[in-house]
Structure 1
């Protein structure tokens, strides 16, 4: 089976020890766990990886560990997110990821100090053009403060054959997903994050995959299966999940912490430590996680 950038593509968390050091053993255990959850690909260095709190040496080690596992898998692709703000550094990092065996890259456009659209386009053109593997552009205006019109992505697709995907994280995302599909005649494909809160709408509008966190990937994989074969079951399961993910997605640091608590409770990682600044869950929020684990236990048995 050829590897595909579609379906459920979780963002892999960065486990730390209780003292705040990178926990390589927990990271490797997490990656190996995710390979068996029905995910079609794994993405490293998204917002849910806390990439903005990692040292270069830690990033290099995590990338090597993840790509060793995905390269050995016949089915699960490895996606490396490129977050450097200058295209010179980003292109170098993209080439290194491709050489190490990445199946695709995801590029976060520059946003610090509000770059103009021509500079954003040039950054994306240079970085994506530096590799041959497929590229996803992460469009997250709420997190970056930078808005990008669909025309920029269409121009990029016309110029670069591997500029195939946009991760749409507008609020709401559905119309943007539909615009990309319609205006590119299907040549641009959309993925959507935000924990899959809007999963029913974006899939109906043509999104080809979801990029959630990684603590309960089995639930998302079941949703993906039901979308294709059991619409009523899909909507029932998504309705059951929605109160939890809609609460956690009120903030990036909130959902990062919640997902790490879930991973620890499931015995997948050793500590739920988040590097500061981080969100501290209160007693009610911790109880909500326990309720979630009980409610979804049939999908989460290991």
Structure 2
């Protein structure tokens, strides 16, 4: 999971059906950028707008591609609220070929910290020794856990291998998790908004959206090579755009889909309702972004 591990989008046709051919093209493109893992389905995939059958179909198509690429891992997300359903779902994904499980803890009706810990432990036990990534997204879920709570689970279930930290800001928790017994590695999410700080505090990867994966890879490569000034500079160019889009999850989904369409990755920017509809100025912002980064994004013309 080191480096950039993008979360894949789900393209829809103009009438709102899943665009299977578009999804296949998108996966092929993202895997071709040089990433070593991808995650699906996440918030960027509009997972909460997919039927169970659609999710299963898309996961199967993703695994068909990752299985042919040595060195590329498929991290499959489990978001079921009921512990029994989540554990069963995670087992099925591992049996289907998932290399790791991304676990979003239950959040409807505010489960207790003990209930959250029991849920996470049950899923870890169900798929051991396959690695589990715990997605900690308090803004989206209003679910809160302390670093010590997570470490207590990891001591019993060592396949709880990573925490995807999407608290705001993420840096303090990333550092705290590394200082625990056992130390827990983190990946940063939230569109890479605080990526330079997260890297400096010990994050081993980032899980942004997938419409401009190449830019995130370039930022990561700068830091990995010790070119901190270059990494900071490229991230600073990106920041005005992602800081605006990340004001709302549906907004960044809509913006990234339009970017993917402009790049020719799939055909329609449709999001299933309820969705954010980009206004004239937001569409112009996407086009400014594409002009600003045209030299970093193959297939984009200025």
Do the structures match in fold with TM over 0.5? yes
Cα displacement (A) at 1:122: 0.7
Which residue of 1 is the match for residue 137 of structure 2? 140
Q: 1:20 and 1:51 mapped to 2: Cα distance? A: 14
Cα displacement (A) at 1:152: 1.4
Q: 1:154 and 1:161 mapped to 2: Cα distance? A: 10
- In structure 2, runs of 5+ residues without a counterpart are none
The normalised TM-score by structure 2 is 0.97
Q: 2:252 and 2:208 mapped to 1: Cα distance? A: 10
The verdict on how the C-alpha distance between 1:38 and 1:184 changes in structure 2, with shifts beyond 3 A counting, is: farther
Which residue of 1 is the match for residue 154 of structure 2? 157
Q: Find the residue that maps to 1:42 and give its secondary structure.
A: strand
Alignment partner of 1:30 is 2:26: yes
Runs of 4+, deviation exceeding 2 Å: none
Q: 1:157 and 1:256 mapped to 2: Cα distance? A: 32
Give the alignment partner of residue 220 of structure 2, picking from 217, 224, 227: 224
The normalised TM-score by structure 1 is 0.97
Q: Alpha-carbon deviations, 1:149-178, whole Å to 9, x = none?
A: 111110111011210100011111100110
Cα displacement (A) at 1:37: 1.2
Give the alignment partner of residue 39 of structure 1, picking from 35, 38, 48: 35
Q: Find the residue that maps to 1:130 and give its secondary structure.
A: helix
Cα displacement (A) at 1:128: 1.4
Which residue of 2 is the match for residue 55 of structure 1? 51
**What does 1:98-177 correspond to in 2, within 5 Å?**
98-131=94-127, 132-177=129-174
Give the alignment partner of residue 234 of structure 2, picking from 223, 237, 244: 237
- In structure 1, runs of 5+ residues without a counterpart are none
Q: 2:86 and 2:247 mapped to 1: Cα distance? A: 29
Number of residues of Structure 1 aligned to a counterpart in Structure 2: 297
Q: 1:180 and 1:231 mapped to 2: Cα distance? A: 23
Give the alignment partner of residue 253 of structure 1, picking from 235, 250, 253: 250
Which residue of 2 is the match for residue 10 of structure 1? 6
Cα displacement (A) at 1:87: 1.2
Cα displacement (A) at 1:260: 0.3
Q: 1:223 and 1:199 mapped to 2: Cα distance? A: 9
Which residue of 2 is the match for residue 283 of structure 1? 280
Cα displacement (A) at 1:284: 0.7
Q: 2:181 and 2:101 mapped to 1: Cα distance? A: 21
Q: 1:128 and 1:183 mapped to 2: Cα distance? A: 19
Cα displacement (A) at 1:35: 0.5
Cα displacement (A) at 1:38: 2.3
